[in-house]
Amino acid sequence: MLDKTDLLILEELSMNSRITMKELGEKVHLTAPAASARVAKLEDSGIIEGYTININQEKLGFHIHAFITIITQNTYHQPYLSFVKTQVEYIINNYKISGDGCYILECKFPSNELMNQFLEELNEHANYKLSIIINK
């Protein structure tokens, strides 16, 4: 099971996953090989799923960040799901949900124009409610 040191390691790696094992070790009071072994264990157990980066989407030209709640009229979701697959450049996440709607789409768009185009195409397959993110 996980102890306090493992949780500290997860916290440190969440803040900076490119930290060296030496530095990580210092933060959690271990030597580099010990820290490295802990991390390897966390990877093997599947607790650490992967190493990634946070990208500033605004600076890449995606000025709009939105959640779209999807309500499919009929029980057959395939047309909607197929559509989603064609729009990977705008879609951050597609969550299947229970509650108010069938899916929640997390999206990014460079402009209102392209978002509008997306929504029009989306509307061929499902109804939706749009929530634009103002702040995080």
Partner DNA sequence: TTAACTCCTTTCATAAATAAAGTAAAACCG
Partner DNA sequence: CGGTTTTACTTTATTTATGAAAGGAGTTAA
Q: In the complex, which residues of this chain contact its own copies (CB under 8 A)? A: 2, 10, 13-18, 45-56, 59-60, 67, 69, 93-101, 104, 129-136
Binder of residue 104, out of its own copies, DNA, none (CB less than 5 to 8 A by kind): its own copies
Q: Which of 31, 111, 116, 117 binds DNA (CB under 7 A)?
A: 31
Q: Tokens representing 33?
A: 């090989």
Q: Which long-range contacts (CB under 8 A, 24 or more apart) does 52-61 make?
A: 52/17, 57/108, 61/110
Among DNA, its own copies, none, the one that 45 touches (CB under a kind-dependent 5 to 8 A) is its own copies
Closest to 69 in 3D by CA, of 120, 132, 134, 135: 132
**CA distance between the termini of the chain:** 33
Q: Which is nearer to DNA, 44 or 124 (CB)?
A: 44
Give the nearer residue to DNA in terms of CB position, either 6 or 106.
6
